[in-house]
């Protein structure tokens, strides 16, 4: 369990947050530029003096009430920045060993070999870090942070300096990391895609305050605090692969609320958990199940909320079992179909993205 009560006052910015995070999984700190994400991370790390209290797994890192303050080097944390800050004159191995040497033997939980294996670095161990690609350098930076066996891993937009191809290369390693290790991660990101793919929990910040926090699926589906522009609104469906049809190259994903068919998941095994992202603009609604439609994915759902989200458009919140979906439809459809809260509809989903 991680608890951080932080108060920072600057000339034109005030941070006032109370974060309570589970002691495992990835929590995303999400919000617009300047809302205080990096300030939170720096204050938790002790790189910046906030007023308040920071407790990590029962250990007090800061408590102003009792005048306790651990300097950064005594806090069991790993910090990964936007740009990998490696020692340029050292090779991969020496960079990793540097992290390990700083860690008292009694606190070592992650073996160097485990960090190397998790980040796929074994073939790069004898290379000078100056010869590594941006994605490889960032993987070394993450492994170096892990090698210190942190109680908490702080990651500040670790993929933002990478182009799309390098991002795609590093993301699977981050997913593996959270599946294999018990280390909680606080992950700053601007990208809804990254958050949907990686995070279990989301803390949404605005102008130095928490506006909402909760599971990724519930936070993404919140209509009062959208995570980005309405045109990009999306919801998250968490389910399991339950079948594969080799003839049509379609896998079935079963979740609380129904079944969806997806392509491009032929390598997945039955029973495997998956996350799907469904863009609100790809969901339409009908009053009855259409008999002549090319759209395979249809779910029975109920409208639980309806609001205008931009001139000519409305955002519907749909409930299919325990799963919440967003649907962006035209205001004219709302009128002509007499859509309203409580109405049962058939949601038609044009496209679904497989996230992990």
Ligand X SMILES: Nc1ncnc2c1ncn2[C@@H]1O[C@H](COP(=O)(O)OP(=O)(O)OP(=O)(O)O)[C@@H](O)[C@H]1O
Kindly list the residues in this chain that would bind ligand X in the complex (CB under 6 A): 10, 13, 31, 33-39, 190
Taking the complex as a whole, how short is the minimal distance between the CB of residue 244 and ligand X, in angstroms? 41
Single out the residue of 267, 271, 236 nearest to residue 253, CA to CA: 271
Nearer to ligand X, 227 or 278 (CB): 227
DSSP 268: P
Nearest-approach distance from CB 314 to ligand X, in angstroms: 30
- Residue with Cβ nearer ligand X (33 or 66): 33
For 105, the token pair is: 């033997």
Query: Could you tell me the smallest distance in angstroms from the CB atom of residue 210 to ligand X?
Result: 13
CB 267 → ligand X: shortest distance, Å? 35
Give least dist CB 205 to ligand X, A: 7
Decide if 332 contacts 338 (C-beta within 8 A).
no
Task: Report the residue number, 115 or 204, with the smaller CB distance to ligand X.
Answer: 204
Distance CA 329, CA 339 (A): 10
Whichever of 43 and 96 has its CB closer to ligand X, that residue is 43
Give the shortest CB-298-to-ligand X separation in angstroms.
39
The answer to whether 243 touches 259, Cβ cutoff 8 Å, is no
Query: Considering beta carbons, is residue 150 or 208 the nearer one to ligand X?
Result: 208
Residue among 48, 44, 47 nearest 13 (CA): 48
Nearer to ligand X, 17 or 181 (CB): 17
What is the rounded CA–CA span in Å between residue 80 and residue 136?
A: 14
Q: Minimal distance in Å, beta carbon 154 to ligand X? A: 12
The 8 Å CB, 24+ separation contacts for 251-259 are 255/321, 255/323, 256/321, 256/322, 256/323, 257/299, 257/301, 257/319, 257/320, 257/321, 257/322, 257/323, 258/299, 258/300, 258/320, 258/321, 258/323
Measured from the CB atom, the residue of 232 and 248 that comes closer to ligand X is 232
Structure tokens at 198: 């990686």
d(Cα 58, Cα 103) in Å, to the nearest integer?
Answer: 19
**Pair type for strands 313-320 and 323-330:** antiparallel
């Amino acid at each position: 369990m991680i608890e951080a009560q932080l108060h920072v006052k600057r000339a034109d910015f005030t941070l006032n947050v109370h974060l309570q995070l589970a002691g495992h999984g990835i929590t995303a700190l999400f919000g617009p530029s300047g809302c205080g994400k990096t300030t939170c991370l720096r204050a938790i790390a002790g790189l910046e003096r906030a007023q308040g209290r920071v407790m990590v797994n029962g250990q007090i890192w800061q408590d102003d009430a009792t005048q306790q303050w651990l300097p950064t080097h005594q806090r069991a944390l790993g910090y990964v920045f936007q740009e990998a800050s490696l020692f340029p004159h050292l090779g991969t191995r020496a960079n990793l060993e540097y992290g390990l040497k700083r860690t008292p033997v009694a606190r070592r939980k992650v073996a160097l070999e485990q960090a190397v294996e998790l980040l796929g670095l074994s073939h790069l161990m004898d290379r000078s870090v100056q010869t590594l690609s941006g994605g490889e350098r960032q993987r070394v930076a993450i492994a170096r942070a892990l090698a210190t066996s942190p109680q908490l891993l702080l990651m500040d937009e670790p993929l933002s300096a990478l182009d799309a191809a390098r991002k795609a290369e590093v993301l699977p390693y981050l997913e593996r990391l959270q599946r294999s290790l018990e280390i909680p991660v606080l992950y700053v990101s601007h990208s809804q895609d990254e958050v949907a793919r990686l995070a279990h929990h989301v803390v949404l910040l605005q102008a130095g305050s928490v506006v909402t926090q909760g599971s990724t699926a519930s936070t993404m589906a919140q209509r009062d605090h959208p995570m980005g522009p309405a045109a990009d609104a999306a919801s998250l469906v968490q389910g399991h692969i339950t079948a594969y049809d080799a003839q049509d190259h379609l896998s079935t994903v079963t979740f609380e609320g129904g079944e969806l068919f997806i392509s491009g998941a032929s390598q997945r095994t039955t029973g495997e958990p998956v996350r799907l992202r469904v863009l609100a603009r790809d969901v339409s609604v009908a009053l009855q199940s259409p008999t002549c439609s090319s759209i395979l994915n249809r779910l029975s759902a109920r409208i639980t909320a309806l609001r205008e989200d931009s001139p000519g458009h409305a955002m519907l919140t749909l409930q299919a079992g325990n799963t919440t979906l967003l649907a962006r439809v035209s205001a004219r459809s709302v009128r002509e179909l007499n859509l309203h809260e409580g109405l049962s509809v058939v949601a038609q989903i044009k496209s679904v993205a497989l996230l992990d």
